[in-house]
Amino acid sequence: MTADNPHTPLAALYPAHVQTLCARADEALAAGGFEHLLLPSGTLRYQFLDDRPYPFAANPQFKAWLPLEQVPDSWLAYTPGRRPRLVYCQPDDYWHLPPAPPHGYWAEQFEIIVVRSAAQAAEHLPTGSATARCAILGEPDWRLPGRVPNNPTPVLERLHWARAVKTAYELEALRMANARAVRGHLAAEEAFRAGASERAIHDAYLQATGHNDLDLPYDSIVGLNEHGAVLHYQYKRRDLPAAHRSLLIDAGATAAGYCADITRSYGDGDELFQALIAGVDGVEQALCAMVRPGVDYRDIHLDCHRLLAGVLRDLGIVRMDPESQLETGVSSVFFPHGVGHYLGLQVHDVGGFMAGPDGGRIEPPDGHPFLRLTRSLVEEAVVTIEPGLYFIPMLLAPLRAGPHADAVDWAKVEHLQAFGGVRIEDNVRATADRPENLTRDAWAAAR
């Protein structure tokens, strides 16, 4: 279902979502001493010495209000106590297809003014002395005369802090995005089992989700064999490897501007690698059960290290107890990234390090610089949980040369290097009762 479908489950939830955004904006503007909120959708950027535009990505602040991802040069204007205004740019253009006339379940919540050029939008935004009282959130080149994004810190901090709590509308969009992504993951596994190339697996994913390369929420990671050990592997090779030992696919989808971010790992039946997948999957599900209000996400990350270290010990890969692996940094050799992050309008949603609505920063634990979320969880937050174990040559070399080398079964490590690694990732909602696993629920429905 699309954002334009009046029968989408999102339609009934959207008015309350807009009311929540108005209340958040009222508080943020008051804290910053501003009277108006202006949100440009963004503008096209062009390649150097060329007339080819880069892919357009809408301002996430704009997307929070509107499920519109391809309307450059539009503006959302909000003044407390008034109906939000959408200045919708629909240019006269025969080189490109312009945006459709504004319609859909969202349209009735706004005063909509259609303009034919970016410059015309300025006529319908606060003017004169009122421009000095506008909080304008965006990048510097999204300016109009007299309206330059100023990104006032008190306003941004409060809006970012509030983004951790998802509205019912946002939660439904995230469920829809997960359902869409799961269809792609099922198709990708089938293509892997059939012996397809990385590019062909990716194409199967796109076909099943209805996405194209440019409208994915992020560039999919599709790694066969050793490529699974490259955390953000960026290529999709068209040639076939000599053997299809393993696949690691990290791929998402969107619905109404909200993102799914899912990872799965598959093997060819090798006993040790299948045991590794099962071990990481067990760890992942145990961590998902911890996603509850009041839980410090840093504790989930450290527990992830302990649990993964237990897998390494139980499979005879590292002969050290889990706590010692954590304290000495051995576990970080095999699990060098963070356990997850906020998820929403952006794949790595904002506000992950904030100490409070006034700002401040909560640092990651010592020795864990890549953790993207350090706050305690709140009800209705949505996070990813993505433990992994990898066999990365540049990280293994110092371990082999260091004081803990004798604790490692290097024959098993060398065997597993041919498989790259394992990562399993779900999207989970924090609730006071049992956490809602949006990904596993979508998988169960698809089966």
Q: Are strands 85-89 and 111-115 parallel, antiparallel or unpaired?
A: parallel
Residue 435 domain flag: yes
Measured between alpha carbons, how far is residue 358 from residues 31, 158, 161, 353 in Å? 9, 7, 9, 12
Mention every residue, 6+ apart, whose C-beta is less than 8 A from residue 105: 3, 4, 5, 6, 8, 10, 11, 14
CA distance 296 to 301: 9
Q: State the residue range of the domain holding 75.
A: 11-162
Domain boundary among 127, 162, 197: 162
Residue 359 C-alpha from the chain's centroid: 22
- In a shared domain, residues 48 and 149: yes
Domain boundary among 96, 127, 162: 162
pTM: 0.97
Q: At what angle do helices 297-314 and 271-288 cross, to 10 degrees?
A: 160
In the numeric block, the tokens 């040790």 are attached to 272
- In a shared domain, residues 178 and 153: no
Q: Tell me the chain's radius of gyration from C-alpha atoms.
A: 24
The count of other CB atoms within 10 Å of the CB of residue 202 is 23
Residue 447: Cβ-neighbour burial (10 angstroms; 0-12, 13-18, 19+): exposed
Tokens of 243: 């053997």
Tokens of 118: 């970016």
Q: What is the pLDDT along the chain (447 residues), one digit of tens a residue?
A: 445 565 589 999 999 999 999 999 999 999 999 999 999 999 999 999 999 999 999 999 999 999 999 999 999 999 999 999 999 999 999 999 999 999 999 999 999 999 999 999 999 999 998 999 999 999 999 999 999 999 999 999 999 999 999 999 999 999 999 999 999 999 999 999 999 999 999 999 999 999 999 999 999 999 999 999 999 999 999 999 999 999 999 999 999 999 999 999 999 999 999 999 999 999 999 999 999 999 999 999 999 999 999 999 999 999 999 999 999 999 999 999 999 999 999 999 999 999 999 999 999 999 999 999 999 999 999 999 999 999 999 999 999 999 999 999 999 999 999 999 999 999 999 998 999 999 999 999 998
DSSP helix/strand/coil, 33:
coil
- In a shared domain, residues 87 and 202: no
Long-range Cβ contact pairs of 357-362 (< 8 A, separation 24 or more)? 357/157, 357/158, 357/161, 357/162, 358/154, 358/157, 359/153, 359/157, 362/298
Facing residues of 342 across strands?
A: 383
Residue 3 domain flag: no
The count of other CB atoms within 10 Å of the CB of residue 231 is 17
- In a shared domain, residues 213 and 154: no
- In a shared domain, residues 125 and 181: no
Residue 439: which CATH number?
A: 3.90.230.10
Mention every residue, 6+ apart, whose C-beta is less than 8 A from residue 321: 309, 313
Residue 118: which CATH number?
A: 3.40.350.10
Mention every residue, 6+ apart, whose C-beta is less than 8 A from residue 235: 198, 227
Residue 432: Cβ-neighbour burial (10 angstroms; 0-12, 13-18, 19+): exposed
Mention every residue, 6+ apart, whose C-beta is less than 8 A from residue 240: 195, 197
CA distance 91 to 116: 4
- In a shared domain, residues 327 and 243: yes
Facing residues of 39 across strands?
A: 76
Q: What is residue 1's predicted lDDT score, i.e. its pLDDT?
A: 42
CA distance 446 to 439: 11
DSSP helix/strand/coil, 85:
strand
The number of distinct structural domains making up the chain is: 2
Residue 264 C-alpha from the chain's centroid: 16
C-alpha count within 13 angstroms, C-beta hemisphere, residue 228: 29
